[in-house]
């Protein structure tokens, strides 16, 4: 397991769930996104052959009451050299959506969620508002999660 994250509301507190990159063998690099239930000692995995996910990050549903009520987002490099943002339901770990990028993504990309910018997004601006950036010159574009909740 590598690049672990949790619901940021639980930082410094007891938490039950962690999200990380894992590996479905045989391979020499992370190729799964894993939800770990630390109380039940169980895990759920997202896996797609030939895909390499980046660090998963948790975004809580507005008004969430449960620790895993929200989505997990990861930027994925796929076997065809293309890239997309993957969104998983954090509770069920089922895929909700993916947004393809018009360019490939390098392996090992890190990201973060910027809640301060997302509250200013109007629904008609969904495809044009950059709110995530990395140290590389590319920017990521956000699909407004609030319309899904």
Q: Which residue positions form the known binding site for Fe cation?
A: 110
Tokens of 64: 């969430």
Binding-site residue ranges? 110
Tokens of 113: 């969620």
Nearest CA to 50 among 72, 21, 27, 74? 27
Alpha-carbon torsion angle 145, 146, 147, 149, nearest 10: 100
What is the Cα 144 distance to its own chain's centre? 14
111 burial via Cβ count (<10 Å: 0-12, 13-18, 19+): middle
């Amino acid at each position: 397991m590598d690049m672990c994250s949790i619901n940021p509301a639980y930082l410094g507190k007891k938490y039950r769930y962690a999200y990380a990159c894992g590996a479905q063998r045989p391979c020499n690099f992370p190729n799964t996104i894993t939800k770990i239930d630390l109380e039940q000692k169980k895990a759920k995995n997202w896996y797609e052959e030939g895909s390499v996910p980046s660090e998963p990050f948790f975004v809580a549903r507005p008004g969430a009451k449960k620790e895993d009520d929200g989505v997990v987002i990861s930027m994925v490099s796929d076997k065809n050299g293309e890239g997309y943002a993957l969104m998983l339901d954090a509770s069920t770990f089922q895929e909700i959506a993916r947004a393809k990028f018009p360019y490939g993504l390098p392996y090992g990309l890190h990201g973060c969620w910027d809640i301060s910018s997302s509250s200013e997004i109007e629904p008609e601006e969904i495809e044009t508002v950059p709110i995530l950036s990395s140290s590389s010159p590319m920017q990521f574009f956000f699909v407004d999660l609030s319309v899904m909740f």
